[in-house]
Amino acid sequence: MNGGITVNTDLGKVVTAVMIDENEDYYFVQPDRNGETYRLKKAESPQVLHIGGSVRGFLYENEDHQLAMTCQHIPNVQVDHYDFGTVVSVRRDLGVFVDIGLPDKDIAVSLDDLPEMKSLWPQPGDRLLISLKIDNKDRIWGQLADDEIFQTMATRPSKKMMNWDVKATVYRCKITGTLVLTDNYMLGFIHPSERDTEPRLGERVSARVIGISAHNSLNLSLKPRAYQAIDGDAAQILAMLEHAPNKQLPYTDKSSPAEIKAVFGFSKGQFKRALGHLLKERLVSQVNGQLLLIKEVHHDQQ
């Protein structure tokens, strides 16, 4: 009982029910524990049922507000069972709707459980780790996994993962940073300084490992490696330096526009912008009228 209201404790679970009636298209079944009647499509039943015969399936309320059982589309997401579902739609006044595999029902995650900033709400195609919960009006809601659930399912990272590229799903948006779960079930943290824009809840991001924390989670960055951030003009300058004798060239931001155009093929303005980028990344330096390569950029991956 909940404030005098009886909650349907069978919803959102796999239960055994008994067939009590039928028509051309449906069996009507009842679980043992209460008198609610659910419709089961005959095409979905694992066997022909007769009155008194039992069948096992997942119970829910479909989009037409009919109590239903499914035997062929049993979702991994259930009451007390967590799994990822895919966001299919957003309602600003209610929350987001998640596909958990039911043919005629998407599950709502309430706006009360979503970030205050609507720009951080999940969008269609994003993934949320949820279970199901039933309110006192017998409505089924998606319940976001808490930190304890993620800690339980997490695997330990290895030090050899430094500089690896990983795919991860955002599961918490916090002022201190973004919490993620990688595709291979490792926890990760993205500090605000390691991202250009804040990723939204449920978004799948590409990140690189920049450290391993004392709490056995990965420190990640969404910012590109130096060579990934370098545009075409800067990359051309780097390539010429890497192949030049002594890794240096007699051209700097003091060189004439005509020299720059003749050697590099682009304007003095383009050269200065590209050179500024390389100087900022500390890949080159200018000394005594020479452009020097400080650090070669290798496209090394995991």
What pLDDT shows up at residue 297?
58
Model pLDDT for residues 180-209, shown as the tens digit of each residue = 999 999 999 999 999 989 999 999 999 999
Model pLDDT for residues 114-138, shown as the tens digit of each residue = 999 999 999 999 999 999 999 999 9
Q: Kindly report the pTM of this predicted structure.
A: 0.75
Residues 119, 120, 122, 124, Cα dihedral to 10°: 30
Please name the residues in contact with 150: beta carbons below 8 A apart, sequence gap of 6 or more.
Answer: 129, 171, 179, 181, 187
What pLDDT shows up at residue 226?
60
What pLDDT shows up at residue 300?
41
Domains defined along the chain, listed by start:
14-70 (2.40.50.330), 83-145 (2.40.50.140), 153-221 (2.40.50.140), 227-293 (1.10.10.10)
What pLDDT shows up at residue 244?
87
Residue numbers of the chain with a pLDDT score lower than 70: 1-6, 33-34, 225-231, 295-302
What pLDDT shows up at residue 22?
95
What pLDDT shows up at residue 121?
98
What pLDDT shows up at residue 229?
59
DSSP for 34-49, written as a single string: S---EEEEGGG-SS--
